[in-house]
Amino acid sequence: MSELGAAEEMQLLAAVDRWIERDVRPIVREYDHSDRYPTELVEQMKELGLFGATIGEEYGGLGLPATTYAEIVIRIASVWMSITGIFNSHLMLALAIERFGTPEQKSRWLPKLASGEIRGGIALTEPSGGTDLQAIRTAARREGDDYIIDGSKIWITNAVEGSCFALLVKTDPAAEPRHKGMSLFIAPKKEGMRAGKPLEKLGYKSIDSAELTFTGYRIPADHLIGGVEGQGFYQATGGLELGRINVAARGVGIAEGALRLATQYSQSRRTFGKPICEHQAIQLKLAEMVTRARAARLLTLDAARAFDRGGRCDMEAGMAKYFASEAALENSIEAMRIHGAYGYSKEYDVERLYRDAPLTCIGEGTNEIQRIVISRQWIKRNPP
């Protein structure tokens, strides 16, 4: 990924800020409450280049480093987390192709992904598997020059509105260890692939999380990413590093957004003759909130820098995702408490942050899994 100059980065972030204030903030409450898909914003995100944010410039993308990408996600998520998922899952598909695809796959798919002509996501999790990717049952069998795929995936972002997915399947169900029997395919939506209706969720509204079902789904063998079977587990988990940095950035955005709302409210709300921000109980809450938000931001940017350096960064990404998501959850709860009864009202934005925050503790691997990843990598990096 290329490095932006300071002036270029400032211009890009300023453009994102203007878009947020002009087009996102005015509609977020209406769209969130009605669970309405933001078609207009998707078109605007295409114009901003967000669907090509981390895709190389040689393929028509912006080629942004992960640090700049994380900053964009933070800013958007502080106002509306949901729409960051529309381009994050898409970019994980693109990353799998760009990192592991054949030259022909890169030249064929990446320009259309960068422009947003093709939009998609990554189809990993299954109803019976969840975080345990090696337990997937969706299987592909070779038939001449094609593969035939049967199975189902659940909680797939962009399942309804998207048109192409990185699909993780078993090509050798008998392989031991299990991950050696897994392969990743570029799977465009067509006959044999069916999207269910969007799942109803506590938060993360206005984005189509749904089930994908594959029945006799036939694709050419040249859709196998990298052209070699058995590499899918590593290809998929490599993309999860960027996904976890994205979720961490969402957590930072929510933590900072909740802090901003709580601060503004505490300065305007008066009790006992003075603004509540002058009461010690509120000051203690604000101090904890600002510290959590700051620490989450620093951990996330540290993970993004590690990603930009290349090599494995699962420990850094895991730490950022774990801490920032918990910071989002804690700050959203504290912001609601500072708002009192008004925090429980749909007329205030803090209730949306409260509903959105828990997803960050679950998505891209639960926080329980993150702690195991962090511990194992720490031990591995510090042998006796």
Domain residue ranges of the chain, discontinuous segments joined by +: 6-115, 120-228, 234-381
Query: How high does pLDDT run on average in the chain?
Result: 95
- Once rounded to an integer, what is the mean pLDDT over residues 60-78? 97
User: 234-381: what fold?
Assistant: Butyryl-CoA Dehydrogenase, subunit A; domain 3 (1.20.140)
| Sequence-distant (≥ 6) Cβ neighbours of residue 293 within 8 angstroms | 252, 255, 256, 259, 327, 331
The answer to whether residues 37 and 78 touch, using CB atoms and an 8 Å cutoff, is no
pLDDT in tens, 240-275: 889 999 999 999 999 999 999 999 999 999 999 999
Please indicate whether residue 58 is annotated as part of the active site: no
Q: Residue 227 belongs to what H/E stretch? A: none
**Cα–Cα distance, 223 to 295 (Å, whole number):** 42
User: 120-228: what fold?
Assistant: Butyryl-CoA Dehydrogenase, subunit A; domain 2 (2.40.110)
What pLDDT is attached to residue 4? 61
pLDDT in tens, 84-140: 999 999 999 999 999 999 999 999 999 999 999 999 999 999 987 666 777 899 999
Neighbours of 74 (CB within 10 A): 25
What pLDDT is attached to residue 133? 77
What pLDDT is attached to residue 1? 46
Between 365 and 24, the higher pLDDT residue: 24
What pLDDT is attached to residue 31? 97
- Per-residue buried b or exposed e for 298-317, using 16+ beta carbons within 10 Å of the residue's own CB: ebbbbbbebbbeeeebbbbb
The active-site residue, picked from 98, 161, 334, 364, is 364
**What interhelical angle do 39-48 and 6-19 show, nearest 10?**
170
Distances (CA, A) of 193 to 34, 152, 203, 237, 376: 28, 9, 27, 23, 38
pLDDT band at 183 (very low <50, low <70, confident <90, very high): very high
SS3 167: strand
Amino acid identity, position 202: L
User: 6-115: what fold?
Assistant: Butyryl-Coa Dehydrogenase, subunit A; domain 1 (1.10.540)
| Sequence-distant (≥ 6) Cβ neighbours of residue 58 within 8 angstroms | none
Say yes or no to pLDDT of 354 above 50.
yes
- Once rounded to an integer, what is the mean pLDDT over residues 58-69? 96
The answer to whether residues 347 and 34 touch, using CB atoms and an 8 Å cutoff, is no
pTM of the model: 0.94
- Once rounded to an integer, what is the mean pLDDT over residues 309-313? 88
Q: Which two tokens stand for residue 366?
A: 């639960």
| pLDDT cut 90: percent of the chain above it | 89
